[in-house]
Amino acid sequence: MSPSAHARDDATIALRELILVGERYRIAVAAHLDLTVNESRAISYLLARGPMGQTDLSAALGLTTSSTTTLLDRLEQRQMAVRVPDPKDRRRSTVEIPESGMRRLREVRDWMPHAFDALDADDLADAAATLRTIADSLRAVTAEIDASATSNTGRRKRH
């Protein structure tokens, strides 16, 4: 095996471990907030990307619109999300995190940055750039996988 192939395998193993520990982190935070994992995922999208249309959030989560409606009903009951009607199109609403939700999230939002405690401050910009590059590449690979899964007739998409 060439040194570059070995390095790529090592990087793939490290990425796989990062994904696994990230999933475990999500479970721990969701449990702390008394949310389901999918509710936690929805909150993460809203934190990372800001207010989103309900249809866009549904697509990002890979859920049906009816499942997303039920999920948002639960988040609204917990005051973790709110649907704001679009002033130009009454069929459309934007989902956002209200102040009550942000208050609950402040505590857990301080936990994730500790993942960078072992890095020197001078290395954080490079780490951020590398993570964005990896995320973009993994997003593109995932889009290709999704596209091939939907083109294979007779196969159900599972989430």
Output the domain CATH number for residue 85.
Answer: 1.10.10.10
For residue 157, is it within any domain? no
Pair 93, 141 in one domain: no
Of 1 and 76, more confident: 76
Residue 100, SS3 per DSSP: helix
Pair 81, 16 in one domain: yes
Query: With 70 as the cut, is the pLDDT of residue 120 above it?
Result: yes
Average pLDDT over residues 40-62: 95
Angle at 114 between CA 108 and CA 120, to 5 degrees: 155
For residue 158, is it within any domain? no
Q: What is the pLDDT of residue 43?
A: 97
Query: With 60 as the cut, is the pLDDT of residue 158 above it?
Result: no
Please, which pLDDT band fits residue 1 given cuts at 50, 70 and 90?
A: confident
For residue 84, is it within any domain? yes
Q: What is the pLDDT of residue 3?
A: 84
Pair 102, 36 in one domain: yes
Q: What is the pTM of this model?
A: 0.80
Pair 124, 98 in one domain: no
CB atoms within 10 A of CB 81: 24
Q: What is the pLDDT of residue 157?
A: 53
Amino acid identity, position 99: E
Number of domains in the chain: 2
CB contact at 8 A, 82 and 96: yes
What is the C-alpha separation between 2 and 7, in angstroms, rounded?
9
Give the domain range for residue 142.
120-152
Pair 73, 38 in one domain: yes
Residue with tokens 């969701």: 30
Please, which pLDDT band fits residue 36 given cuts at 50, 70 and 90?
A: very high
Pair 49, 88 in one domain: yes
Q: Which two tokens stand for residue 66?
A: 């009816």
CB contact at 8 A, 42 and 75: yes
Pair 9, 73 in one domain: yes
Pair 80, 135 in one domain: no
Mean pLDDT for the chain overall = 91
State phi, psi for 83 to the nearest 5 degrees: -100, 125
DSSP state of 115: G
Amino acid identity, position 45: Y
